Structure 1
Amino acid sequence: MRRRLGSVRARATLAATLVVAVALVVAGAAVLFALRSSLIGQADTEADSVARNAASALANGFAYDDLGLPDGDENPVEVLDRKGKAVAVGEDVEGMSVSARDSARLNSVDNDDAGDTDEGAADEEDPLGAGDIADETWYGEGTATVEGETGDYRFAGVDLVTQGGVPLTVYAGAPLSAEHDAVDTALTTMLIGLPLLLVTVSGVTYFVTRRALRPVEGIRAEMAAITASEDLSRRVPEPATHDEVARLARTTNETLAALEASVERQRAFVADASHELRSPIASLRTQLEVGAAHPELLDVEGAVEDTVRLQRLAADLLLLARLDAGERPSDAHFDLAAFVREEVAQRGGDRIAVSVEAKSAEAGSTGEESVEVAGSRGQLARVLGNLLDNAQRHTRSSVTVTVRRAGQHAVVEVADDGSGVPDGERERVFERFVRLDEARTRDDGGAGLGLSIARDVAARHGGSLTVREAPTGGALFELRLPLAQRLTSGA
């Protein structure tokens, strides 16, 4: 049972049924109240009409026997004097409950004096004159016995004074049997119809919800199949609607596509890394084995170079793994121009000297604009080093680094005068393990990870790395980083 109620269909059906049930109960109660009020109002009107007709006849001098009171089973009538003694009653009326008369007076809108029935009150002067009828009518409920049968009635009471100066009160009743029958019939209809209506609502809600959630079940089943088969090329079905379920399916497929691309990229990365690691390890092993067998033939320098190359490749792979894992750079603030000067000054063994054109905000350089960024000095140093290494491989005679400010970004440009990068290869050059010049050796050209690492680090810092043609005809790599946001306090 708990499992069934755990489904969306069951909860939606139960909620809809409860809401409809509450609404029907409230509406039914309101209908019954309105029906009863309307029927009681009709009974009041009928009783008031009969009472005033009798009161009018008495006020105009008719004798008690000449009143022509209606039959008791339709409208029981009783005329009382101020002492509560019956002076005239309708035909077949055997008695009217005193509580009916008391109720009528208690419900009066103006009963300060009219409700007194003791002898002292009877001796008081009646406010009505001879032949007058009171404007107020008192209403109440009670019982009357007619021909031996007692029933419920709605009574109206009217005061009057005869032309002889005798104060009287006429009570006339209207039967409530029609009201009771109508209310009972409506209540019975509601008690029968309510369960049927709730069953209908439950069934319709369950059917509609099931139909609406059918695409969701299809998405769930397909996702379960994808999980079981580990085939990320599969996609969940997208319904031809424009509702939330369709958007869920599209988002799920987009997530699957991104996950598939990520997995494929990881697989390719592992395969390429294994291939790239195999070469220096095999070379180093060969040299060591030859050296072990023939010490005089050991190429120590070559072994050291292979070890260094292997160390650099391992460092590149570890950095890429950290970047893929979502490692966030630090938020250290530093001046980019001074940083570039320091990194270039520390480089040794470059084939071509590197010239730096940068503005700095260091002491002693007043009037120059600050180019301050936030991030990891180590990772950005790696980016600059990779760009300079790439420029050194391809340049003919010059390598230039320019640092400038462009709006809310700091820009570092590394330009050479080599052969440049063809238009069709300017995005491919940033892919991992890509070497445009396949003829050059790995010893000279590296593993093809430098530019990929540089772009990934730039993206992690909220920036970008692109390549275009340099003014000297070679390649110009442009690194854009957001300027550091300085917090200023008000005076």
Structure 2
Amino acid sequence: MARRLRPRSVRARATLGATTVVALALGAASFALLGALDGNLVRSAQGEAERQALATAGLAAAGRLDAVLPPARGADFLQVVDAKGRVLAASPNLAGLPALSPERPRRPGTLRGTWQGNPARGEHRHRVVTVTTVTGQGLVTVYAGTSLREADAADEIITAALALVVPLLVLTVAVVTWRVTGWALRPVEAIRAEVAEISDRDLHRRVPVPPSQDEIARLAVTVNATLDRLEAAGIRQRQFIADASHELRSPITVLRTQLEVAQAHPDPALWGELVSGALEDTVRLQDLAADLLLLARLDTAEPAPDAPVALADLAREAARSRRGDRVPVDVDITADATVRGSTLWLSRLVTNLLDNAQRHADRRVRLTLRVDGAGSAAVLEVCDDGPGIPAADRERVFERFTRLDDARSRDQGGSGLGLAIARDIATRLGGSLTAEDQPHGGARLVARLPLAAA
């Protein structure tokens, strides 16, 4: 029930919270004000009654007490009673009445209290001071009282005023809070409405940014930045799908053509060449599918592998397997670096860098492995003496399906995914892969990977 009755909107909750706090504060302040006012009036009345009682007690002790006692200013009645309860003197309004209290004090002293309900004192409260003193006739008690009609009237007036003002103030706070909160949350509602209208086909739309430069404006900027990233990811995904479809279509078309030729010309002399070409295209399709699958895995949000891997051993093995290639690989490993990742991913990174270098090298490829000066990262460099990479294209070469020139065409065996996969692997493992300057010409690719903790 409490959950159903709880306000669901921020505006309603803010209004309820502010109204409750103000109502409690005004209620506490009202009680404190009434208490302070009543206390001051009661103390003032008590002071007047106490002075009258002490003066009358002095007269009784001196034996100069008259039977009729006219009350002084601030006192409404006086009565003097002996130890046996006989009234020795009284003010005119108490003439002929018995003792005000049946109790008889047994020792001298002063008592103070508030009385109500005695016919002699009317309908209002009275502050009564009782002074007991010793006289020649024994103990005598003096009762002096003053009416609290002013305090009661002030309490009634203040209570009525507070009963009217406090609800008005609480209502005013509620209305003002409701309007101010609505005005403050209006940009949030505009942002919500705009985001609700954005679909996967409308990622170009952006939410309005209010000119207030407050938290809501920063929220709108953050939402727009998120939409920018989503739009970029969507464009990248669509481009990737289009490029992948184009790359897959070429070998499939060639493979189909070869099969159709073999079917149309059943000459056994041609089958060897056709089967060889079909096998090459099939291998190419298989490699391309493997690359696409690896890219899909790299794009997921799953945690990257975190096993210790000896990068030096992987580099030596990759170079050793290429000894008979057209362009040999020279190895210069100065540190047995151990990084965190997986053998599969790191082997693919090294293999892709070497494949790219051998594809474009003239006579030499060099692989070096060292530890940086800070001792925190392994630095793997692959250099070749080929045409190199222009400075303006050193970032574009890491884009998927990117080929800079004819030397990087499909005829040379490249699909445009090798360097993209290598950079994605380095990035997922907490490192980086960049194309940097080569002093003597050629391409120089540098991968930096954080070392595994000892």
The CA distance in 2 between the partners of 1:326 and 1:161, in whole Å, is 98
Give the SS at the match of 1:64. Answer: coil
Aligned residue number for residue 374 of structure 1:
340
- The answer on whether the counterparts of 1:77 and 1:171 sit within 8 Å (CA) in structure 2 is yes
Partner of 1:38: 40
> SS state of the match for residue 386, structure 2?
coil
| Residue of structure 2 aligned with 1:202, choices 171, 174, 183 | 174
Q: What does 1:81-92 align with in structure 2 at a 5 Å threshold?
A: 81-92=82-93
The answer as to whether partners of 1:417 and 1:470 remain within 8 angstroms in 2 is: no
Aligned partner of 1:142 in structure 2 is 115
- For residues 262 and 105 of structure 2, the distance between their equivalents in structure 1, rounded to whole angstroms, comes to 132
**Code of the aligned partner of 1:202:** A
In structure 2, relative to structure 1, the CA distance for the partners of 1:149 and 1:475 (3 Å cut) is: closer
- What one-letter code is carried by the residue in structure 2 that aligns with 1:81? D
The AA in structure 2 aligned to 1:209 is T
Give the match for residue 80 of structure 1. 81
Say if 2:160 is the partner of 1:160. no
Q: 1:96 to 1:357 in 2, by over 3 A?
A: farther
Query: 1:339 pairs with 301, 314, 317, which one?
Result: 314
- 1:7 matches 2:9: yes
Q: Distance in 2 between matches of 1:351 and 1:285?
A: 31
Matched to 1:470, the amino acid is Q
| RMSD, aligned α-carbons | 2.4
C-alpha displacement of 1:149: 4.6
1:165: Cα distance to partner?
A: 5.8
How far apart, CA to CA, are the structure 1 residues paired with 2:331 and 2:260? 46
Superimposed CA distance per residue, residues 40-72 of structure 1 (whole angstroms, 9 cap, x where no aligned partner): 11121111011112123333442323x742189
Rounded Cα–Cα distance in structure 2 between residues aligned with 1:261 and 1:97: 99
Q: Give the 3-state SS of the residue equivalent to 2:92 in structure 1.
A: coil
- Cα deviation 1:201-245 (Å, max 9, x = unaligned): 110010010001000000001101113x73111110111123221
Cα distance, 1:330 vs structure 2: 1.7
Kindly provide the CA deviation profile for residues 291-341 of structure 1, in whole angstroms up to 9, marking residues without a partner as x.
Answer: 111133342221111111111111111111111123433222122111211
**Alignment-derived partner of residue 181 in structure 1:** 153
| 2:111 partner amino acid | W
SS at match of 1:137: strand
Gap regions ≥5 residues in structure 1: 103-113, 117-125, 127-133, 360-368, 487-491
In the other structure, the counterpart of 1:450 is 418
> For structure 1, which segment, 72-81 or 468-477, has the greater mean C-alpha deviation from structure 2 after superposition?
72-81
> Which range is displaced more, 323-332 or 264-273?
323-332
Q: Which runs of 5+ in 2 are unaligned?
A: none
Alignment match of 2:369 (pick from 386, 403, 412): 403
Residue 122 of structure 1: aligned partner? none
Q: CA deviation at 1:171?
A: 0.9
Contact 2:379 2:446 in 1 (8 A): yes
In structure 2, the residue matched to 1:364 is none
Decide whether aligned partners of structure 1 residues 479 and 440 sit closer, same or farther in structure 2, where only a CA change above 3 A counts: closer
TM-score if structure 1 supplies the norm length?
0.85
User: When the two structures are aligned, how many residues end up with a matched partner?
Assistant: 444
Residue of structure 2 equivalent to 1:190: 162
Opposite residue 178 of structure 2, the aligned amino acid is: Y
Q: Does 1:225 pair with 2:197? A: yes
Structure 1 equivalent of residue 49 of structure 2: 47
What is the CA–CA distance in structure 2 between the aligned matches of 1:76 and 1:89, rounded to whole Å? 8
Residue-by-residue CA offset, 1:277-303 (whole Å, 9 max, x unaligned): 110000011001101111333422211
SS in 2 for 1:334: strand
Identical positions, percent: 50
> How far apart are residue 394 of structure 1 and its match?
1.2
Residues 150 and 476 of structure 1: CA distance in aligned 2, closer, same or farther (over 3 Å):
closer
